[in-house]
């Protein structure tokens, strides 16, 4: 008998250690539900070595992001870039869209590339598909945002076209600000076997659309640390004085694609982080600037933003940059556990820290995920929107965080107890 095949959608790779955690935990939960077999994820083959060691192979995307022909340097969402992406997206819609329909595939698939043929074949052979957690389903109106939803739903629709059961693991949903966007999401999710959300806000979004969903927790809360990894030694070797009060900081070169003044918003964000780092240094804390995500694309390359902020710092500022691309999500979580506090823009740096009982300030962006999860934890007041952040606000909130450290840890402990109880529910919910 052939080994069962399972797919992890919609796709990512090891360079984002938050997404890596979601993939690994999805596979772990699926195996605990007795789905034994071979697991595949959609990814670029050169960025999955760690996941391959975990027994998760990769297959190429059937539909790739329209940015693939663009420069990966100095990303700015100007008219020229949007036009280029739009033309690519139009071509993708015309040539890859028909693959969602069985009659077309049977006749024309042989004319597609060997890469596409292989991926479609794996979809045809897969028993079930699991949509890893994340916050990718949110969009305003307009052509660009509508295609974004089409793109992120594409592989889910492809799985459904083969009459597969699709399990949506705890995800963030919304906001959706256009009727067509809502319609696309609604049509797909209603065909899925199970839909789970990871915060109350998302649950309400779906209920308002007539979609029944269960509110659970982000899967990264279940990620276990690598017990053999010596995080203290690792930090010391990177120049971190572990005797000091350590404040982990994650940043990203977010380009504020939905703002009318994205460059101004990004500069405001960098100045806020600069001011916070200098204040921490002046007040006997050691800021540890942690690279959480690395990528060829400068939009996802954390060190770009870290280095831009460093260039703004007063030369007397004391800080350390922590970067190690050879460690995986379990090891990185252990690094976060050695911090006294975290100021996190990368949201899974926030979750890694919270699950290690570290008080955090979450700098939120991109849909409901950050605000929603912090609210459900009982820590909404420590979620600050990225598009309005200032040095003054950050410093004031950090002082409040330190003053309420013990009560915050108590809130975190109670939330983690609830989340641990939900793990068994997820396993039973996806079980046949």
pLDDT recorded at residue 72? 59
pLDDT recorded at residue 62? 95
- Tokens for 230, please give them: 């010596």
Cβ–Cβ under 8 Å, residues 134 and 100: no
- Domains with residue ranges and CATH for the chain: 5-216 (3.40.50), 231-418 (3.40.50.2000)
For residue 191, give the 3-state DSSP assignment.
Answer: coil
159/188 Cα distance (integer angstroms): 11
Cβ–Cβ under 8 Å, residues 69 and 88: yes
pLDDT recorded at residue 70? 63
Cβ–Cβ under 8 Å, residues 205 and 375: no
pLDDT recorded at residue 61? 93
For residue 423, give the 3-state DSSP assignment.
Answer: helix
Starting from the edge strand earliest in sequence, which strands make up the sheet with 320-322, in order?
Answer: 320-322, 285-290, 245-250, 341-344, 360-364, 383-385
379/51 Cα distance (integer angstroms): 32
**Displacement of CA 66 from its chain's centroid (Å):** 19
pLDDT recorded at residue 314? 95
| Sequence-separated (6 or more) residues with CB below 8 Å from residue 365 | 254, 345, 385, 386, 387
304/74 Cα distance (integer angstroms): 10
**Displacement of CA 298 from its chain's centroid (Å):** 16
**Displacement of CA 251 from its chain's centroid (Å):** 14
Cα-based distances in Å from 271 to 68, 274, 336, 392:
31, 5, 24, 11
Residue-wise pLDDT tens digits, 187-236: 999 999 999 999 999 999 999 999 989 999 999 999 999 999 999 999 99
128/79 Cα distance (integer angstroms): 40
Phi-psi region of 171 (alpha: psi -120 to 50; beta: other; left: phi over 0): beta
80 membership: H or E segment, kind and range:
helix 79-96
Smallest CA-to-CA distance from 56 within 15, 5, 131 is with 5
What are phi and psi for residue 12, nearest 5 degrees?
180, -165
98/105 Cα distance (integer angstroms): 8
Taking the chain (432 residues) in runs of 10, the rounded mean pLDDT of each run is 87 91 97 96 85 94 78 63 77 92 94 95 96 83 80 95 96 87 92 94 92 93 96 97 97 84 92 98 98 85 96 97 97 98 96 97 86 92 95 98 97 95 94 82
- Tokens for 305, please give them: 């933003």
């Amino acid at each position: 008998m052939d080994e069962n095949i399972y797919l992890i959608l919609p796709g990512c790779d090891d360079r984002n250690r938050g997404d890596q955690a979601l993939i690994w935990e999805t596979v772990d939960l699926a195996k605990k539900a007795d789905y034994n077999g071979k697991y595949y994820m959609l990814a670029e083959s050169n960025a999955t070595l760690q996941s391959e060691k975990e027994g998760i192979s990769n297959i190429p995307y059937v539909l790739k992001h329209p940015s693939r022909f663009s420069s990966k340097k100095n990303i700015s969402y100007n008219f020229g870039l949007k036009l280029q992406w739009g033309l690519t997206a139009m071509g993708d819609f015309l040539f890859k869209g028909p693959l969602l329909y069985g009659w077309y595939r049977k006749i024309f698939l042989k004319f597609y590339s060997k890469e596409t043929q292989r991926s479609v074949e794996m979809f045809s052979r897969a028993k079930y598909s699991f949509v890893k957690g994340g916050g990718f389903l949110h969009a305003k109106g307009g052509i660009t945002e509508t295609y974004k939803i089409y793109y992120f739903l594409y592989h889910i629709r492809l799985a459904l076209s083969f009459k597969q059961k699709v399990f949506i693991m705890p995800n963030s949903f919304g906001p959706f600000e256009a009727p067509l966007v809502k319609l696309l999401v609604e049509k797909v999710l209603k065909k899925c076997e199970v839909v789970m959300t990871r915060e109350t806000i998302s649950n309400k979004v779906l209920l308002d659309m007539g979609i029944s969903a269960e509110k659970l927790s982000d899967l990264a809360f279940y990620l276990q640390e690598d017990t053999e990894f010596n995080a203290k030694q690792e930090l010391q070797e990177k120049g971190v004085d572990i005797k000091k009060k350590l404040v982990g900081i994650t940043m990203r070169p977010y380009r504020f694609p939905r703002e009318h003044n994205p460059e101004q918003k990004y500069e405001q964000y960098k100045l806020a982080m600069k001011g916070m780092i200098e204040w921490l240094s002046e007040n006997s804390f050691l800021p540890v600037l942690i690279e959480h995500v690395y990528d060829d694309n400068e939009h996802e390359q954390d060190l770009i933003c870290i280095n831009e902020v460093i260039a703004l710092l007063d030369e007397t500022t004391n800080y350390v940059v922590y970067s190690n691309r050879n460690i995986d999500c379990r090891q990185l979580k252990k690094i976060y556990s050695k911090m006294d506090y975290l100021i996190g823009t990368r949201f899974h740096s926030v979750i890694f820290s919270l699950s290690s009982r570290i008080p955090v300030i979450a700098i939120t962006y991109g849909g409901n995920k950050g605000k929603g999860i912090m609210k459900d934890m009982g820590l909404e007041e420590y979620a600050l929107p990225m598009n309005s952040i200032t040095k003054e606000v950050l410093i004031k909130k950090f002082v409040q965080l330190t003053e309420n450290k013990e009560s915050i840890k108590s809130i975190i402990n109670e939330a983690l107890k609830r989340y641990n109880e939900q793990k068994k529910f997820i396993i039973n919910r996806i079980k046949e």
